[in-house]
Amino acid sequence: MKKFFKHLTIGRVLTYVFLIIGALIMVFPFYWMITGAFKTSLEIQMFPPQWLPSSFSFDNFTEALEKAPFATYFLNSVIAMVSSVTICTITTILGAFAFSKLNFPGRHIIFGLLLGLMMVPFEMIVITNYRTIIDWGIYNTILALIIPFTSSIFYMYILKGFFDSIPDSLYQAARVDGCSNWKYLWRVMVPIAKPSLVTIILLNAIASWNSFLWPMLAVVDKELRTLPFGLYAFVSEGGAKTELMMAASTMIVIPMIILFIFARKQIVNGVARGGIKG
C-alpha cells in the first residue's frame, strides 16, 4: 500500500478520477434500468428520484411477458445468433487460413479489397441485402435473419493476424509429412487459435443479439421478431408503461452483460493477439 501511494502522482490521480467518472457515467444507465424494472409506476415518476425500489417484486416482468411473447422473441434471437455465429465462424476460419497460408494469384490484392469493404457502413448495403432475400424467396423467414451475417471481413482480419503469427515452417513441416491443408487447419491451426476464435465468437454473438435494423426490415410476422425488435414493437404498439419497458429491457440486456463479464478478458486478449504479428 505504501508503494502505491509513493508512486502516486497528480497525473495518475487525475487519470483515476476521470476513469472513475467515466465508469459511473457508463454504468448508471444499466443501474437505473435494472432498479426501474422493480419499481412501481409511482416510484418511477417520483421527484427527486427514488434510487432503490421499495420492494423487489417481479410483477413487472410477469406483466411484460403477458403483454408480449418475449419467450418467442428470445427463442428467435437464440436461433438467429447460434446459426449465424456457427456459420460465420466456419467461413472466417476458412477465409483467414486461405489468405494467411495459401499462395494463390492476387491473394494480397483480393484481401486488400475485402478490407476496403470494412469502410462501408452496414446501412449502405442494407437495401442490396433486402433485395437479395426477396429474390431468394426467404423474406419474412428465420433464414433472412441469418444469411446476411454468415461472413465478416473484420473477424477474418482478426483471425488472419493470429494465423500470420504462426511460423510458416510449421506448415511446411506438416506438408512434408503428408498432412493435407484441411487436416493441418483443423488439427493444428484451429486449436492454436482458440483465443482469437473465442473473441470472434463472443463479438459475433453480441452483435447478432443486439441487431435491430435488419430484423425490422427482414421480417413482418410477430412470431419471427427478435428481442430488440420485439422490445421496440412492445413500446410503440402497446404504449408500454415505463416500468414494463425497463423490465423488458432488463430481460434483453442481462444475458449479454453476464456474457461480457465472464468473457471480457478473452475478448481483449484475442483482439490483442490477433493484431500483433511475431
What is the CATH number for 81?
Answer: 1.10.3720.10
Specify whether 40 is located in the same domain as 118: no
Are the C-beta atoms of 140 and 224 separated by less than 8 Å? yes
Q: Within this chain, do residues 260 and 139 fall inside the same structural domain, yes or no? A: yes
3-state secondary structure 46-84: CCCCCCCCCCCCCHHHHHHHHHCCHHHHHHHHHHHHHHH
Domain count, the chain: 2
**Both 66 and 53 in a single domain?**
no
For residues 201 and 92, the answer to whether their CB atoms sit within 8 Å is: no
Per-residue model confidence as pLDDT tens digits over 120-162: 887 788 888 888 899 998 998 999 999 888 888 888 988 888 8
Same domain, 53 and 99: no
**Can you tell me whether residue 219 is helix, strand or coil?**
coil
Q: How far is CA 165 from the centre of its chain?
A: 25
Helix%, strand%, coil% for the chain, nearest 5: 75, 0, 25
Q: Which residue has the cell 494467411?
A: 100
Say whether both 141 and 228 belong to one domain. yes
Q: Which of 57, 72, 100 is the last residue of a domain?
A: 57
Both 77 and 39 in one domain: the answer is no
The pTM of the full predicted model, rounded to 2 decimals, is 0.77
Residues 152 and 41 placed together within one structural domain of the fold: no
CA distance 108 to 105: 8
Contact call for residues 164 and 251 (beta carbons, < 8 A): no
Both 114 and 214 in a single domain? yes
pLDDT of residue 277: 42
Specify the pLDDT at position 79: 93
Q: What would the grid cell of residue 68 be?
A: 408480449
159-190 tens-digit pLDDT = 888 888 888 888 888 888 788 888 888 888 88
Which of 19, 63, 20, 24 minimizes the C-alpha distance to 40?
Answer: 63
Are 161 and 200 in the same domain? yes
- If we measure between CA atoms, which residue out of 99, 101, 108, 96 comes closest to residue 171? 101
Q: Which regions of the chain are under pLDDT 70? A: 1-8, 237-240, 266-278
Interatomic CA distance for residues 251 and 257, integer angstroms: 11
Q: Are residues 239 and 132 in the same domain?
A: yes
pLDDT value, residue 276: 43
Q: Chain-centre distance of CA 22, in angstroms?
A: 22
Domain that holds residue 50: 2-57
